[in-house]
Structure formats: C-alpha cells, structure tokens
Structure 1
Amino acid sequence: MQLSLIDLAIFLVYMLGILFFGVSFYFKKGRTTDDYMVGGRKLPAWAIGMSIFATFVSSISFLALPGNAYLGNWNSFVFSLSIPIAAWIAVKFFVPMYRELKSESAYYYLEERFGAWARTYASICYLLTQLARMGTILYLLALPMNALLGWDIATIIIVTGIAVIIYASMGGIEAVIWTDAIQGIVLILGAITCLLILLFSMPEGPGQVISIGQEHGKFSLGSMGISFTASTFWVILIYGLFINLQNFGIDQNYVQRYMSAKTEKEAIKSTWFGSSLYVPVSLLFFFIGTALFAYYQAMPELLPASLQTADAADKIFPYFIVNGLPKGLTGLLIASIFAAGMSTISTSLNSSATVILTDHYKKYINRTSSQKTNFRVLTISAVAMGILSILVSLAMTEVKSALDAWWALSSVFSGGVLGLFLLGYFSRRVKQMEAAIGVVLGLLVIGWMSLTPIFISEGPWISFRNPLHANMTIVVGTLVIFLTGFLLSKVLNGKTR
C-alpha cells in the first residue's frame, strides 16, 4: 500500500506539530517539579478530562474494537457500560481521598495503611505493568503502520518511541495533558469522519448498515445467561467493573490527573467528563466495525481474498483507511491511530517517572533532594522507561501473541494491587500481616488462573487448568486477597481481644 503525498504530508506535519508543542513546555519560566508532576495543580477540568479519555483509548482500541465488531458482535461494548459505575465509586470515595492526602503518588496511601512494603510492592508492580503496556502498544501500533506504509516494524517502534520520549520527558504532565487533549479531539473527529463516509457509501443508503447488521446479529451484547466460562454479558460487565476500579482507584495515570485540577470539584468534573466521553466514543468504534461488515457484505468485490478470513479482522479497518477514504482523510486517520497510541505512552512515561521519584528515589536514596536534582531524576527516569519500553516492544516481535502476553502480565500485577488497595480502604481493622498473607495467596491464585491456560492444553494435568473465562482472573484474584485479609483480621483480632 502506498500513501499519497498529501496524506504523508498531513501525517508528518501532525507528528512534528505534536512533538514541538510538547517540547515547548520545557522552556516555561519558573517551572517546578510540582509543575512537572501535577501541572502546578491548576489545569482546567475539560483538558484533564480529555486526557483521561485519551489515556483510556490506545491504538489497540482504535483498531481492535472495530475488528472485534466486524468479526463478532457488540459483546465487548458491555465493558464500556461498567465505566459510569466505576467512575461514580471513584468520585464518591477515591478522588476526595487522594485530594486530602496531597501526595503525587497513588501508593502513598498503602504505606499509611500497611507500611513501606505495600507502597514499594505496588509501585514496582505499576512500573512493570507500564513497561509491558507501553511495549505492547508500541508493537501493536507498528503492525498496522507496517501494513499501511510498508515501513520496517522495528523502525516504526524506535521512531515513535523516541518522539514520545522527547516531549513526555521534557514537557512533563502539562505537555502530556495538553497534547492528550489535542490528540483526543483528532481521534474523535477522525473516527466520526470515517463512519460518515462508510454510511453514505452504502449502495442503498445509511439504513442498509442497520438492516445488514440486524440480519447477522451484529448488535447483540452477548448471552444473558449466568455462566463464568464464556464471554457472556455478565462476565464482561463484572470484568469491566474491576478493571475500571483499578484504573480509577489505584492507577498512577489517573491519580496524577486528580491532583492536577485546581479543586476537588474540578477533579470530580474531569473524572466524569473523561469517563463519560469514552462510552459514546467506544460505541462509535463498534459502529464502525459493524459498518465495515455491512460495507463489504454489500460490495464484496472491494475486499481482497486475503482479508476474507477470521484472523484478518483487525486488518480490515486499516485496509479501508488506505483504500476507501479520499486523499487527505487517510492521513488524518493514520494521525488518529498514532494519536491514540502516543497519548497512552506519554501518560505512562510521565506517571512512571513520578513514581520513581516519589516512591523510590526520595524515599530510599535522597529524602531532601533539591528541585534541580528532582528534575534530573524525573527526566532520566522518563527517558529510561521509554528506552526500556522500546526494548520490550522489539522483544514482542518474537512473541506469538503480544496481546496474550500483555493480558497474562497485567492480570498478575493489577489483580494483586487492586485487592490490596480495596482491603486497606474498606476494611479498617486489617493489619500488615493479614494483608501480606492475602496478597501472597491472591497472587498464587492469579498466577494459576493466568498461566495454566497457556501451558496446559492437554494431557494428565488438564484437570488443573483454570476452567473460568480469562476475564475472571482479576475478579477472582482481587476477591481472594480481600476476603483472605478480612477473614484473617476477624480471627486474629478476636484472639487478641
């Protein structure tokens, strides 16, 4: 596939514009580490909300959601329906708590409840998760770019990674939030434009998308049956609730944004805005997938035989972007895909640097470091995490399924930390020992649920394989940690009295 000069120019201008805009914050006079980490606690709610939205949407969402709807139905959209529930819990309990603590770190609270080990454990899990996340996104971003542009995958990974490292490490959270706001707008406009073109390109008009979709059951939200071994409506809803509780409750990416707002009221507004915006936009992506299905059902001659297989579903949208859009719009859509990936990676870089400074450097190395030293640590940390994420991404090229690897790793790390946080917040009598036992037991359960499906597919050990759907891993692991710690505290505290 070859891009026109117009499309290539639009794409390159966008990339350079974002890079220079982000770097410009580095030259802001009188900037402090508080500006770098939380934007001086004075950023507007709408920009923070747009940044929360852009963090939610990665290049995986931009390509995987349409591919998912093209191949199947809207079952995965149920995940988005859980977001308002998680957001309500966040603004009711978590946002006020973090604003009251006034710490840039999401994991300071765990130290207050269970001691330094809990904070260190959670922050290390976060850093490892972010490396896996950034590496996966860089790799998955490079795949469609390789198909669209014909560029070498390793080259795309390195160039994209360096571009994000430059503006995220130099500009700080202000650069991240303002570029996120721009990239979120570009992403939404690109997706809307694409859907409109699909709808009005149908031979019998936009209504044909609805009729073809209904005929093939494309609008179904999944089975309403009570089963935890398949991807039912309830499994996806429960999974989405736990994942989004993790996002809003313990993820440094989100907590830093709560702290960037002027007031608690502004922080709550931004949380509602960012979380609520994702619901209709994810619906837009699913509608694009259904529209693509209807488009190529109505005009099958436009789709090459190589893309008419189930494993090619994720390649349908990139193919349409290059071959079905007018010149100029193709460049905009490619910029949108990059926008989704870059916003997520830049957020992770800034938050990881903040965690390294607050939870490790200032705690264990130099408690009274100067502003100059703090800036140096933040910059070096962001660059180091960026370089490591590029290496992880390059290593992903040797993995059979990057997504499977990411899901397995994220389940292990996120499930353990979420359970510990909920245990500390909702059960005040739990002490260090009960919490530590709960975490160890929970991690063993999460490891069993995550890894046995990968390593046990047949043979005498098949009965030891996790029978539940993969999405239940974080749910079960979190509940094991919470219930273990809670019950142990009841028993041990009773004996003490």
Structure 2
Amino acid sequence: MMTVFTPKSMTPELVFTVVLAYFLVLLLISAVTSRGSNSQSFFTADKQSPWYLVAYGMIGASLSGVTFISVPGAVLSNQFAYFQMVLGYLLGYLIIGAVLLPLYYRLQLVSIYAYLEQRFGFWSYKTGAFYFLLSRTIGASFRLFLAAMVLQLGLFEAWGVAFWQTTIISIVLIWIYTYRAGIKTIVWTDTLQTTFLLLAAVVSIYLMKEDLQWSYSTLAQKIDKSSFSKIFFWETNSPKYFFKQFFAGASIAVVMTGLDQDMMQKNLTCRSLKDAQKNVFWFSIVLVIVNFIFLSLGALLYVYAAEKGIQLPTQTDKVFPFLAFNHFGLFAGVCFLLGIIAATYSSADSALTALTTSFCVDFLDADKKEEATRQRMIRRVHIVFSGVLVVVIVLFKAIQDAHPESNVIGSLFTAAGYTYGPLLGLFTFGMLTKTAVKDRWVPLVCVASPVLSYVLNLYSATWFNGFKFGFEILIVNGIITFLGLWLLSTGKSE
C-alpha cells in the first residue's frame, strides 16, 4: 500500500520548506559558479576542477538514489551479495585510471565517443553516442523516479498533485540550476549532495542504535550474526556466484563510468591526467567503504524492525523511507528527505548535462560552431532532454505500478547489461586490436548483440544445465559485439 510511505512526523508544509531551502542553496551555488561561464564551462568546466572535489562529488553521483533506497532494501533477499560486485568495481576503476583516462587526455576529447570516429569511422561513432544517450536516459529516469516518488508521497500527494506533475517539477528544478554552467556547476553541487547523502545514512544508523540502546560493538555483532550479512556465494548456478558478481562489477564500473560520458565528463574537468588518476584511485577506495555502510544499514533496518515488531512494506524499495519517516523521528525524516533528494539529483543533474553535451557535440557538431550558436544549441537541447526524462519517468511509474514486486537496482543493472554491452565491445575491440572494420555495418552488429544476449539469457537455464546469467550478461553482450566487429574486419591496420 502506498499509504505506508506517508510520513507521520513530517507535514507537507515542513517537507516543502526543506525542499525549498535545499534548492535555494543549489541555486546560490549555480549563481556563483556560472559567473563568466561559456559553452566550454558547460562542457569541461574550463578544466579547472580540483581532483579531490571531483572525487568527493562522484561518490554521490555513483551511489544515487538507487543505492540509497534499493541497496538497503535488497538485503532482505540478496544479503550482502552486492558487495561482491562492489569489490569488482576496484578492478574496473584500475582499468579506467590506467587505460581509458590516458587515452581521453591524450586525444583531448570533449565527448569520449569521438574516439570511435577516429578509430573506426562515422557510423561507429554515432552508434556509440546513441547507446550512451539510450543508456543514460534509462538510468537517469530510474534514479529520478525514486526522488519523484518520495516527493509525491511526502508532499505533493497531500496537495492533490498528480505524479506526472511532480515529475515535471523535479526536472524543472534540475534545469534551472544547470542550464547556464552545466558541468562547472555540477562539480560543486555534487559535493553538497554527497554530504547530505552520507549524513542521512549515518544519522539513521545512529538513531536506530540509540533506540535499541545498543553500543556500536553490539550493533556490529547483531548485524554480523543476522541472516543478512553473508557476503560470499560459491554456488556456480546461482546469480549470486562470486566470480559472476565480481567480474560483472568490474565490467559495470568500466562501462557505467569509464565508457559513460556522464561520469567521464567530471574526470575530464580535472587540470591534468595525473589529477584525474588520483581522483579515480581515491574515489574507488572510498566508494567500497560507503557501499559497505549502506549494506550494513540495510541489515540493521530489518534487525531493527524485528526487534521493534514493526511490519514492513512488502516492496523492499520502500523499507528505508517507511522507517525513516514513520519510526525514526522528525530529524531523521528531514535527513532522509535531504539524503534521497541529494542522492538522486547528484546523478540526475549530471546525467542531464552529459546528455546535452553528447547530443550537442556528437550529433550537432557544437564544438565546431561559433560561441553564440553553441549557447543557443545547448539551451534548446537541454530543454528537449528534460522533456524526454519526464516522459520516460512517467512510463516507468506505470510499469512499476503494474509490477510492484520489482526491485529498482536490479532493473537498472539489467537494462545496463543490454544497452552498455555494445559500448564495451566497441571500445575493447578498438583498444586491443589495430584492425580496421567495415564501418557502415557496425550499427547492425550493435543492434544484434543485445538481441542475441537477451535470447541467450532467456534460455540459458535450458541450454546450459540450469546455469542462469546475472549482471554478467553485460560481459557476454560485449563479447558478442567484439566477435561481430572481428567478422567485419577488413584485414587492414589502422
């Protein structure tokens, strides 16, 4: 029932005040950072971002509202299996720092997909950029859906506002503080939003500990002895199998960060390659720690509910907000509200900026236009993609209502496995070989690869003696794309 999500300790007027104050701060940051900005500020932040600021802000952008809500909730069914994937992130970020960043800085790219044009040709370039636009639109919509859901149930539902109207309000707020300086503003707003995200998790853990009258050592023991804390799974046919999760995590880090214009655009705002590599190194270590905290938070939520005899919502994505709003008190409710908004908007605002950047540069050749033309182009494309996100979020809401048992983080990574796979294959083939390909046929390979991966995933249990693919279908998708490109090889070296 949706009503279990309604906060007892927070009136709609209080929620409105908190949200308004939060966005006024974001607008203030936008006003300061956008002074003297131009199209290059929007695309690259003039390459003046301190690496430590980027690293800290990327924590919030990487976690997002999906991690904030879905990871703790999914502990009920998956225990700490997700941490196996997080460990795989370390390998993925090592590849990003050692291989991809040097390439991007050497070529001085604004859009990372321009590499595909230099390596293969026009159609490969447009195909790679298209798959980013598709992937990031889906991902940003998943994340913004969570924020819109919280605002709807915590504020706008009481005022009779429809969900689609809440979605429009959410997107408009992002557009207002990003349309002028783009990534230059995002680098700074991400630091604020990461702080609120972490504060919400820490406050929730502290309040549950105090309510249960436990010490921190007792809390750690209760989590460790619970049925939720199992990390490693060795059953080969299980989707939770360690090596499946680990290598899926590595590949997801590579494609959803290293081959993603959104995340790489932040890295490319650093002053030098060395600074960007320091950013990736420290960010990856902190990200592992923060993910473990959120998994521990998830276990504690269920332990707390059992100790207090609280009946939780059946949909796991609602467990954390339900407890925060209804059982943790007013302060925790405010912290949670700020946390979910910060977590979601820290990834969604940069996604909107990256979508605008990619379309302007990759499809409209904005980098070859005059400054005034670029500025007009940026504003128009920014508005168009804002509208696209609204439509996709409303569609996702309809799907979620039809399938209330679904888990958002699972849906996100499943979608990523099919849409990011061609990107993985394209970049891997380009960097591991020196062979030219028949460029005009590359789009066909990149369409066939996800289709074949889907069919393989659908019948894997029948064809492979009960084996089922998990998130590692992304790797399979990339391999199929790689093989398809090999079949298109011309025999000539690039």
Q: Tell me the TM-score normalized by structure 1.
A: 0.87
Could you tell me which of 231, 237, 245 is aligned with 2:254? 245
Amino acid at match of 2:67: S
- Distance in 2, matches of 1:143 and 1:272, equals 34
Is the counterpart of residue 298 in structure 1 residue 326 in structure 2?
no
User: Equivalent residue for 1:274?
Assistant: 283
| Separation (CA, whole Å) in 2 of partners of 1:68 and 1:224 | 19
The offset of 1:318, in angstroms, is 0.7
- 2:327 corresponds to which of 299, 324, 327: 324
Which shifted more, 329-338 or 440-449?
440-449
Q: Which residue in 2 is equivalent to 1:415?
A: 421
- On the 8 A contact 2:321/2:336 being kept in 1, the answer is no
Task: Specify the alignment match of 1:288 in structure 2.
Answer: 297
- Who is 1:442 aligned against? 449
Q: Which residue number corresponds to residue 341 of structure 1?
A: 344
Q: 1:328 to 1:201 in 2, by over 3 A?
A: closer
2:481 aligns to what SS in structure 1? helix
2:102 to 88, 93, 96: 96
Letter in 2 for 1:22: S
Q: Deviations over 1:432-489 (max 9, x none)?
A: 3598375455233224246x48xx99xxxx8799952231321111122224434764
Q: How much does 1:209 deviate?
A: 3.4
How far residue 112 of structure 1 moved from its aligned partner, in angstroms, is: 0.7
Measure the CA separation in 2 of the matches of 1:387 and 1:45.
32
Could you say if the C-alpha distance between residues 149 and 464 of structure 1 is closer, same or farther in structure 2, counting changes exceeding 3 Å? farther
> In the aligned structure 2, how far is the partner of 1:143 from the partner of 1:290?
23
CA distance in 1, matches of 2:344, 2:255: 20
Give the equivalent residue in structure 1 for 2:207.
197
Structure 1 counterpart SS, 2:67: helix
Q: Which residue of 2 aligns with 1:124?
A: 130
Query: What is the TM-score normalised by the length of structure 2?
Result: 0.88
Maintained 8 Å contact 2:44/2:183: yes
* Stretch moving more, 436-445 or 48-57: 436-445
The match for 2:4 is: none
Partners of 2:174 and 2:345 within 8 A in 1: yes
Could you report, residue by residue, the CA deviation over 1:236-264 in whole angstroms, capped at 9, with x for unpaired residues? 11111111111232110122122211111
Structure 1 unaligned blocks of 5 or more: none
Corresponding letter in the other structure for 1:338: I
Distance 1:481 1:435, change over 3 A: farther
- In structure 2, distance between residues paired with 1:172 and 1:465: 50
CA deviations over 1:211-241 (Å, ceiling 9, x no partner):
44344332211422333x5222222111111
What is the number of equivalent residue pairs in this alignment?
Answer: 474
How far has the Cα of 1:430 moved from its partner?
A: 4.4
Per-residue CA deviation, residues 95-135 of structure 1 (Å, 9 max, x unaligned), is: 11100111201101111111010110111111122222222
Is the CA contact (8 Å cut-off) linking 1:49 and 1:273 kept in structure 2? yes
**2: distance between equivalents of 1:69 and 1:128?**
29
Shift of 1:140: 2.5
1:493 maps to which residue?
491
Alignment partner, residue 395 of structure 1: 395
Contact 1:442 1:480 in 2 (8 A): yes
Q: Please say if 1:60 is aligned against 2:66.
A: yes
C-alpha change, 1:53 and 1:205, in structure 2 (3 Å) is closer
Kept in 1, the 8 Å contact 2:83–2:231? The answer is: yes
1-side partners of 2:15 and 2:126: how far apart? Answer: 47
Q: Is this contact kept in 2: 1:11–1:332, CA < 8 A?
A: no
* 3-state SS of paired residue (2:491): helix
Residues 1:25 and 2:54 are matched in the alignment: no
**C-alpha distance in 2 between matches for 1:84 and 1:418:** 17
| 1:359, distance to aligned residue in structure 2 (A) | 0.9
Match of 1:375 in 2: 375
CA–CA distance in structure 1, aligned partners of residues 250 and 465 of structure 2: 25
Quote the offset at 1:417 in angstroms: 1.3
Matched residue type, 2:423: V
Change (3 A) 1:215 1:269: closer
Select which of 359, 364, 375 maps to 2:362: 359
- Which residue identity does 2:103 align to in structure 1? M
Please say if 1:10 is aligned against 2:18.
yes
Does structure 2 conserve the Cα–Cα contact (< 8 Å) formed by 1:7 and 1:328?
A: no
Question: How far apart are residue 314 of structure 1 and its match?
Answer: 2.3
User: Cα distance 1:299–1:368, how it changes in 2: closer, same or farther (>3 A)?
Assistant: closer
CA change 1:66–1:408 in 2 (3 A) is closer
Is 2:168 the partner of 1:158? Answer: yes
- CA 1:116–1:233 in structure 2 vs 1: closer, same or farther (change >3 Å)? same
Q: Tell me if structure 2 keeps the 8 A contact 1:83–1:276.
A: no
Indicate the percent of aligned positions where both proteins have the same amino acid: 19
Query: Is the CA contact 1:416–1:443 (under 8 Å) kept in the aligned structure 2?
Result: yes
**CA separation in 1, counterparts of 2:234 and 2:244?**
10
2:191 to 174, 177, 181: 181
Confirm or deny: 8 A CA contact 1:22 1:167 kept in the other structure. yes
Bigger mean CA deviation after superposition, 230-239 or 98-107: 230-239
Give the letter aligned to residue 389 of structure 1: L
- After TM superposition, give the deviation of residue 204 of structure 1 in Å: 4.5
CA distance in 1 between counterparts of 2:439 and 2:49 reads 40
Q: 2: distance between equivalents of 1:375 and 1:465? A: 57
Q: Mean alpha-carbon deviation: is it higher for 77-86 or for 218-227?
A: 218-227
Instruction: Write the distance in 2 (CA, Å) between the matches of 1:421 and 1:104.
Output: 17
Q: Over aligned residue pairs, what C-alpha RMSD do you find?
A: 2.8
Change over 3 Å in CA distance of 1:312–1:357 after alignment to 2: closer
Deviation at 1:389, TM superposition (A): 0.2
Work out the CA distance in 1 between the residues paired with 2:109 and 2:224.
51
Letter matched to residue 69 of structure 1: V
**How far apart, CA to CA, are the structure 1 residues paired with 2:337 and 2:454?**
37
1:169 CA drift (Å): 1.6
SS state of the match for residue 224, structure 1? coil
Residue identity matched to 1:445: L
The change in CA–CA distance for 1:466 and 1:252 in structure 2 (over 3 A counts) is farther
**Are the counterparts in 2 of residues 135 and 391 from structure 1 also a CA contact under 8 Å?**
no
- Matched letter for residue 352 of structure 1: L
Q: Mark the CA change 1:405 to 1:316 in structure 2 (over 3 Å): closer, same or farther.
A: closer
